[in-house]
Amino acid sequence: MKNKLSSLINPRSVALIGATERSGSVGSGLVENLWSGRHKRKLFWVNPNLKEIKGERTYHSILEITEPIDLAVVAVPAEVVPQVVQEAVSKKVGSIIVISAGFAETDSAGRQRQDEIVNLTRRSGIPLLGPNCLGLLRPPIELNASFAPFNPPSGGIAFISQSGALMNSVIDRSGLENYGFSLLISYGNGADVSLVDLLWLADRDQSTKVIAIYLEGLDEGREFMEAAREISSRKPIIILKAGRTELGQRAASSHTASLAGSDQVYQAAFKQSGVFSASSLEELFDWAKALEWLPRIENGLAILTNGGGMGVLATDQAVDQGLLMPELSEATRNRLQKSDSFAEETIFKNPLDIIGDADTERYRQAIETLLTQSDVHSLVVIQTKQTMTNIQENMEVIAQAAQRWPKKALISVCLPGRLSQMGIKWLEEQRIPNYSDPVRALRAARVLTN
Amino acid sequence: MKQIPFEETIELLARYQIPVVPSAVFNNKKEAQDFFSQMKQPAAMKIDAADIWHRTEIKGVFLNIECLTDFNQAWRQLKQIEGIRGVIIQEMRSGLELVLGVKRDVQFGPVVMFGLGGILVEIMKDVSLRIVPIDLAEAKQMISEVKGYRLLTGFRGQPAVDQKKLAEIIVNLGCLATENPEIEEIDLNPVMATSRQIDVVDAKIWITSDEE
């Protein structure tokens, strides 16, 4: 499977079976997305009922195409899929994605249909992704073989999702976020290409730095653990596992036809194979960007704030997360006390509250002094917007410190508002994560120390 | 799934160095009486029957038997229970109640479970799990994960449990499950722990039955 998947993620030619320009259809979404990468590879439209799409001729059948096809994308009604897959197999394509739904996730006829197409492709050794999936995107090479709403930004996160619709929302959301993707793969029913195959694929992919997964259930628990254990030692793996409750599990089984085991057992499996278990979609990407942008660090955290309340919230969460907050050393306290930037009433301890009237110079002195202390490995910098708070300048100070201490992790907490959102965007463009809430920031800080 | 007889259960556990409180199963009253009069009293007398989850629920447990009168009365009542396979006679143990178990998961295979016993395990579901095989370090980690962990460390006059020994038992239980694929489920409940010893007091093992 390993080498065969290269035609799936690096195709020189793609045939779309079920291509159409009828607006609002899956086929037209695929046409638009594939078209956006037309300079990178050859495209062929297959639809017996149309003459041309995007000014290019269509083919009656994939067999009519004379050139070799690396990837066949199938988006036709379920009943027609077996025939189309048979043709793609005869054409000796490199790999196949079946987008169409109406297989094992529906009824026994659907399951039979799924077995039928898998038998066809397996006999010929052609990998099949899907059915019942959104498709595959690889932004760094402008490959978008999906009906996603637009092309998400390129970056270091590989997102593998059992659910296609959820992947669509993640892509939509990514337009407002500052992280990007190396790969996005929705594998739907996982009839042939499995999560384990995709894990190995993401492991080998040079642009992938972090692997984020939405999972409902597995069919190959032991193999998964073996793969995850090995891969997580090189690239962090984060999983959002759905179906925690019995009712949730029943919903999952009718969704992607997966046989979900007990959630507690899954959690044990994740723990034993070095996988981070996120509890929400938000957390999945909170952690993914932290793990992509920041170094892995030892346990030892300092908190810097200009507002007492936020400092207390952050400290509570640090304790809950098992993060150690070292006392300020005498040298650190002396340095802070000698500086004339701090207000008289400042108490020099960790968390360090530099009070609401803190200007950028005070932030700079505090950040640099705290990072100089050797047992401070990560620093959470909290800003509440006060009259004297210059968010943009403070962000620049944070970015400078991150450059000076590349082995330490700097995390920003600032609620995005009218006055702060520009500064936050700028900071994240420097690959320093910002979180709107100290709880989110501290939970992200914890995964860096594991 | 069917439950194997108690004698086979404790033999299997012994083969994997999982300590069980001294026990014997009898159908002959005279032999049972002889055993009782020579053992370290008080004794516990329990029913061995196929397919029971809780012996107490069918009134199949008599504790603190110290004289022949009590013995005879317990014997008579146990023998009246439908489906009886034999009468288990055991030494009594006290200490901190723990539970250990194994369940075969559809995706991951055998999973070992450790938890604090009695009400805590049933109400609080205070257990930790690992997919086997596991090593000693993983077993120790697993023990420390339960919320009531401090109870094992000698909290307010409770006995401090020998955690190394407990971890060894968990590792062995994992081996037992891996090497005997016909086992579907193991329930060691309670396991009594003091600072000096850890003993399985009640044990049930279910195997795949032929009809399935």
CATH value at residue B124: 3.30.470.20
103-132 in chain B: CB under 8 A from chain A: 105-109, 111, 128-131
Query: What's the pTM value of the predicted model, to 2 decimals?
Result: 0.91
User: What are the tokens at A149?
Assistant: 């709403």
Nearest to A349 by CA among A370, A363, A364: A370
Instruction: Write the CATH number for B72.
Output: 3.30.1490.20
Q: Do B194 and B139 sit in the same domain of this protein?
A: yes
* Residue ranges making up the domain that contains B133: 96-207
Q: For residue A242, give the amino acid letter.
A: A
Cα–Cα distances (Å) from B102 to A186, B166, B177, in that order, read 35, 15, 7
Distance CA A250, CA A256 (A): 11
Q: Do B115 and B75 sit in the same domain of this protein?
A: no
Can you give the pLDDT at residue B106? 84
Interface contact B131-A219, CB threshold 8 A = no
A245-258, pLDDT tens digit by residue?
767 666 655 554 44
Q: Which residues make Cβ contacts (< 8 Å) with residue B7, sequence separation at least 6?
A: B25, B48, B86
B155–chain A nearest CA distance, Å: 22
Least CB–CB distance from A261: residue in B105, B128, B138: B105
- Write phi, then psi, for A245 (nearest 5 degrees): -105, 165
Q: Do B193 and B143 sit in the same domain of this protein?
A: yes
Q: Establish if B190 belongs to a structural domain.
A: yes
A169-179, pLDDT tens digit by residue?
999 888 889 99
Q: Which residues make Cβ contacts (< 8 Å) with residue A190, sequence separation at least 6?
A: A162, A219, A256, A258
Of the pLDDT bands very low, low, confident and very high (cuts 50, 70, 90), residue B125 is confident
Q: Establish if B161 belongs to a structural domain.
A: yes
Distance CA A157, CA A179 (A): 8
Can you give the pLDDT at residue A261? 53
Q: Do B171 and B76 sit in the same domain of this protein?
A: no
Q: Do B106 and B189 sit in the same domain of this protein?
A: yes
Q: Do B100 and B170 sit in the same domain of this protein?
A: yes
Can you give the pLDDT at residue A250? 63
- The answer to whether ipTM exceeds 0.90 is no
Q: Give the residue from B102, B104, B107, B144 with the most A CB atoms within 10 Å of its CB, the best one to mutate.
A: B107
Distance CA A5, CA A126 (A): 9
Q: Do B60 and B28 sit in the same domain of this protein?
A: yes
A364-421, pLDDT tens digit by residue?
999 999 999 999 999 999 999 998 899 999 999 999 999 999 999 999 999 998 889 9
Q: Establish if B132 belongs to a structural domain.
A: yes
CA nearest to B145 within chain A: A268
In this structure, the strands spanning A135-138 and A181-186 are antiparallel
Domain boundary among the residues B30, B60, B91 is at B91
User: What are the tokens at B5?
Assistant: 């007889």
Number of domains in chain B: 2
A245 touches chain B (CB under 8 A): no
Cβ atoms within 10 Å of A34's Cβ, excluding its own? 26
Give the ranges where A185-274 is alpha helix by DSSP (H). Answer: 195-204, 221-231, 246-256, 263-272
Interface contact A218-B107, CB threshold 8 A = yes
Least CB–CB distance from A265: residue in B105, B134, B138: B105
Q: Do B143 and B67 sit in the same domain of this protein?
A: no
Cα–Cα distances (Å) from A306 to A343, A373, A385, B176, in that order, read 12, 20, 9, 58
Cβ atoms within 10 Å of A405's Cβ, excluding its own? 18
Q: Do B54 and B69 sit in the same domain of this protein?
A: yes
Q: Which domains does chain A have, with CATH numbers?
A: 6-291 (3.40.50.261), 295-449 (3.40.50.261)
Q: Which residues make Cβ contacts (< 8 Å) with residue B122, sequence separation at least 6?
A: none
Q: For residue A178, give the amino acid letter.
A: N
A219 touches chain B (CB under 8 A): yes
Q: For residue B20, give the amino acid letter.
A: V
A139 touches chain B (CB under 8 A): no
B138 touches chain A (CB under 8 A): yes
Q: Do B60 and B87 sit in the same domain of this protein?
A: yes
Rama region for A56: left / alpha / beta (φ>0; ψ in -120 to 50; rest): beta
CA nearest to A266 within chain B: B108
Q: Do B106 and B188 sit in the same domain of this protein?
A: yes
Of the pLDDT bands very low, low, confident and very high (cuts 50, 70, 90), residue B65 is very high
